[in-house]
Amino acid sequence: MAATHRIATGTVITAVCLATLAGCGTGGGGGQGGPEKEKAQPAPAPKNVVRLIGDGSTAYTGAQPHLPKPERLKPGEKPPQFVVFSWDGAGEDSQKLFSHFRKVAKENDATMTYFLSGVYLLPEEKRDLYNPPQHSPGRSDIGFNDQQGIADTVKQLRLAWLEGNEIGTHFNGHFCGGDGGVGEWSVEEWKEEIAQAKQFVKTWKTNAGMENEAPLPFDYDKELIGARTPCLEGQKNFMKAARELGFRYDTSGVNNQVWPEKKSGLWDVSMQLVPFPGHSFEQLTMDYNFMVNQSGTTTQGDPSKHEMWGDQMRDGLLQGFERAYDGNRAPLIIGNHFESWNGGTYMRAVEEVIETVCTKSDVRCVSFRQLVDWLDAQDPATLEKLRSLGVGEAPKKGWKTFLASGPAPAPKGAPGSPAPKE
C-alpha cells in the first residue's frame, strides 16, 4: 500500500506521557482548586500514562476518549436513530480514504468502526509469518504491505481510536468461495485466524522494524469485540469461535431494518436491505453489493453511468434512513470499503449520506461498540417491544404510549402469559 505520511519517531518507554497519543499536559493534571497549599507536595501523576504491551506495538493509555456513556431510555422516550458506518479491511494507501473519512466523520459529529485486516500491518518480506487455515504459509488474497503503508495505516488507526472510533477486525487473507475459503473453516480454524489477526496488530513494530514509532494506544485484546467476515461467509462457525473468545457482536449477515437481537450470545448487527431506486428489489447496505448490481464484477464500468450509480446508492441509503427515522427507529447498519470503484462514486455517495443524516435531530452516527453498549444498557423488555415493530412501522399510538413504563403483557397463550380465567 503506497502512502506519504510519516509518523514522528522517538524513543518510547514504559509509563511515560506521549503527547502524540493522549494530548497530555504538564503539571498537576488539570485541577481547579487554585494555588497549591504546600510547595513541598509531590505533583500528581500525569493524567494519561502509557503502559506498553509486549514489544510496544500497543499500549494501555486509559479509557478511550470521546466514548459516551450509554443511558437507558426513560419510560415513553423515543429511541434515538442510530446509524453505523463501517469499513472493511481499513488501511491507508495512496488514495488516503481512511484519513479523508476520519475528517468527514469529525466534521459531522460521527464516529465509525474500522475493521482492520491484520495483514495490512505485516510487511511483504515477513509474509511467511501468516499461516492461514487451509492454505500454505504466506498466502493472502489481498496481499501484504510495505513499511510506508504500515506507518500510514498505524497513524490513522491511532488517531481514529483517540477520536472515539472503534478498531475491529476483518481478519487476514480474505479467502472467499470454495477451496479453503472462510465458509469452510472450522471453529478451531477461525480461532487460529483471529489469534493471528491480533498478533499482527500486537507485533507490527517488530515485524516492520519500526521499534521507535509510537504505539497504538489500546490493548487490542480488550479493544477487539466484533468483526465482519470476508464476503459475509463462514458466519456460523465464526460466531461460535467469537463467543468463546469474548466477542460481543457480529455484522456478517443480512437482515431487514428491524431492531437487533442476540444470537448465539452475540449481538446480531447485520447489514440490512434498503430500497434500490429504479429496481423492484431491495439492496444490501454495502458499496460492493451496489456495484455488483450495477456494473457486475467490473470495478470500473461505463463512466457515463458512474454518477447515476452513486446517486442510486446515496438515495437508497437515504430512503432506508428515512424509513427507520420516521418509523421503527431501528439502527441503520452500513458497510463499505476504502475503494474507488466506478470512479469513486460510492465514496461520494457515502460522504453525502454522512453529511445529510449525522447532524439531524435525534440521530447518532456511532461505532458498533457504542451501539452494543447502548443496547446492553436497555431494559430487555423495552428492546423486546422495539423488536415487535416491523420495517418502517411507527407505534400506532406514538412512542410515549408504546414505551410507557412497565412491560407490555404477554400475548394471550404465549409462553409465560397468565392462564386464562375460567
pLDDT of 7 > 70? The answer is no
pLDDT at 411: 44
pLDDT at 32: 37
Instruction: Report the CATH fold assignment for 81-389.
Output: TIM Barrel (3.20.20)
Residue scoring higher pLDDT (401 or 406)? 401
Q: Would you state the cell numbers that stand for residue 227, as one nine-digit string?
A: 468483526
Residue scoring higher pLDDT (44 or 142)? 142
Average pLDDT of the segment spanning 233-251 = 97
Other CB atoms within 10 Å distance of the CB of residue 421: 4
pLDDT of 1 > 60? The answer is no
What pTM did the predictor assign? 0.85
pLDDT of 247 > 70? The answer is yes
pLDDT at 49: 80
For all residues of the chain together, what is the average pLDDT? 88
Give strand pairing partners of 115: 88, 168
pLDDT at 19: 37
SS3 333: strand
Render pLDDT for 345-356 as a digit per residue (tens, 0 to 9).
999 999 999 999
In angstroms, the CA 385 to CA 388 distance is: 5
Q: Which of the residue ranges 19-28, 105-114, 175-184, 346-355 would you say has the lowest mean pLDDT?
A: 19-28
pLDDT of 238 > 90? The answer is yes
- By percentage, how much of the chain surpasses pLDDT 70? 85
Q: Residue 414: which pLDDT band, with cuts at 50, 70 and 90? A: very low
pLDDT at 201: 98
pLDDT of 312 > 50? The answer is yes
Q: Residue 421: which pLDDT band, with cuts at 50, 70 and 90? A: very low
Render pLDDT for 37-84 as a digit per residue (tens, 0 to 9).
344 455 554 556 899 999 999 999 999 999 999 999 999 999 999 999
Domain ranges of the chain: 81-389
